[in-house]
Amino acid sequence: MRAVYAIIKKNLVSFARDKARIFMTLIMPLFMLFSCSFLMNSSVVDIDSPFNYLIAGVVITIVFQGVFNNSTAVLNDISSGFMREIIVAPVARFYIAVGNILSASILATLQGGLLLIIGILLGFRTTFPDFILMLVLMMLSAIILSAIVLFLSLTAKNQTNYQIISSVVIMPAMFLSGAYIPITIMPKVILPIVYLNPLTYLTSAFRYVALNMFDLSATELIHQGIAIHFGSITILPYVSWIFAFGIGMVFLILCIKKFEKINLLEVQGSTRGRRR
């Protein structure tokens, strides 16, 4: 557990020292919140409490974006030599994977919580117990997303490849998740991609709790874009959590396998390449 604590502490301290990074992570979500608010308030979208609906979606996207930004830490650790020190220590690779996932998740949850507070100041209606519950769900979402993104970063192996993957994945995944635009008004031709996007299920499940939609029927949830419906299949929000959790567990196992395949020579090679 010392390795987990060391990784989390190092990444939290690094993030706290980078004030510009904290500021920049809020710019894009706030811009999208301002831009999409006009669409949500138009007659095209038949959604109850459109501003709250949009805030809940934007919060999940900043968690997703935060996970991507914070998961670069493992690549920095490899290039700086910090990972070499952990690998040579008698530490199970499982703890290394968990430490990186938890550190990225904590940071992403802090970013999402900060945006949620800004949303409350702008008019998002919630109660204190619901606020705490949303923080817990943000953390669970961040853990699931961190497992996926950490696997991608380990597959990329270096910052250049990771930046390419980030550019290809982040924006399409956010726009095709229903976070900014309800999936009920999206063109049918892109819906198969929407249904394959893990962020879609996390967004709908988080909105279900954030907007307190527990009393709505399945038909109403489909109409609000909260329940995922395709063909004769309807995926309710609580099933979305189960589905997303299953995906997270699969990628956690893949991350552990990736760390088990990392050897000292590869890490030393990456460190030497960086120094050159």
pLDDT tens digits, one per residue of 13-55 = 887 777 676 677 777 777 777 766 656 655 445 677 777 888 8
* Residue 211 neighbours by CB distance under 10 Å: 22
DSSP string of 77-139, one letter each residue: HHHHTHHHHHHHSS--HHHHHHHHHHHHHHHHHHHHHHHHHHHHHHT----HHHHHHHHHHHH
Single-letter residue type at 38: F
Window from 45-59, 123-137, 236-250, 259-273 with minimum mean pLDDT? 259-273
Spatial contact of 162 and 72, defined as CB atoms under 8 Å apart: yes
pLDDT tens digits, one per residue of 145-172 = 988 888 888 888 777 888 888 888 888 8
pLDDT value for 42: 55
Tell me the mean pLDDT in the region 124-151.
89
**Exposure of 89 by Cβ count < 10 A (0-12 exposed, 13-18 middle, 19+ buried)?**
exposed
Longest dimension (CA), the chain: 61
Q: Quick one: pLDDT band at residue 182, thresholds 50, 70, 90?
A: confident
Rounded Cα distance, 249 and 161, in Å: 24
Rounded Cα distance, 219 and 205, in Å: 16
pLDDT value for 271: 47
Q: Quick one: pLDDT band at residue 215, thresholds 50, 70, 90?
A: confident
Return all residues near 257 (Cβ < 8 A) that are at least 6 apart: none
Give the containing element (helix H, strand E) for 160.
helix 159-175
In degrees, rounded to 5, the angle at the alpha carbon of residue 126 between the alpha carbons of residues 121 and 132 is 100
Tell me the mean pLDDT in the region 114-133.
86
Tokens of 175: 């726009």
Spatial contact of 19 and 114, defined as CB atoms under 8 Å apart: no
